[in-house]
């Protein structure tokens, strides 16, 4: 393995570790208030995180989940990527 390949592998590993840590923090910081507000057990709350590329956000998320389902939103975003 040459140095540049090793460096790329190390960077990918570190990025994976950082993303795993961020997901773990997001899960905890999202589920804890829900459990407290809803007065339910931790086993009753699920958190899903799906990574979306920024260039795909408008078509894969904003349009189908925000624009086309406004009745499902509890908090609407303050932006519109189509304007």
Is pTM beyond 0.85 here?
A: no
Q: How sure is the predictor about 1, in pLDDT bands with cuts at 50, 70 and 90?
A: low
Q: How sure is the predictor about 56, in pLDDT bands with cuts at 50, 70 and 90?
A: very high
**Domain ranges, ordered by start, for the chain:** 1-49, 52-83
Question: Positive or negative CA dihedral for 44, 65, 27, 17?
Answer: positive
Q: How much of the chain, in percent, has pLDDT values that exceed 70?
A: 90
- pLDDT digit string, tens, across residues 24-55: 999 889 999 999 999 999 999 998 888 899 99
Q: How much of the chain, in percent, has pLDDT values that exceed 90?
A: 59
At 40 the three-state DSSP class reads coil
Q: How far is the CA of 27 from the CAs of 9, 15, 31, 70, 73, in angstroms?
A: 27, 18, 6, 25, 20
């Amino acid at each position: 393995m040459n140095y540049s390949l090793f460096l790329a592998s190390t960077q990918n590993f570190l990025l994976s570790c950082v993303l795993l840590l961020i997901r773990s923090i997001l899960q905890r910081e999202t589920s804890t208030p829900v459990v407290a507000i809803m007065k339910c057990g931790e086993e009753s709350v699920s958190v899903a995180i799906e990574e979306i590329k920024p260039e795909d956000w408008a078509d894969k998320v904003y349009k189908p989940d925000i624009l086309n389902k406004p009745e499902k939103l509890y908090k609407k975003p303050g932006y519109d990527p189509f304007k």
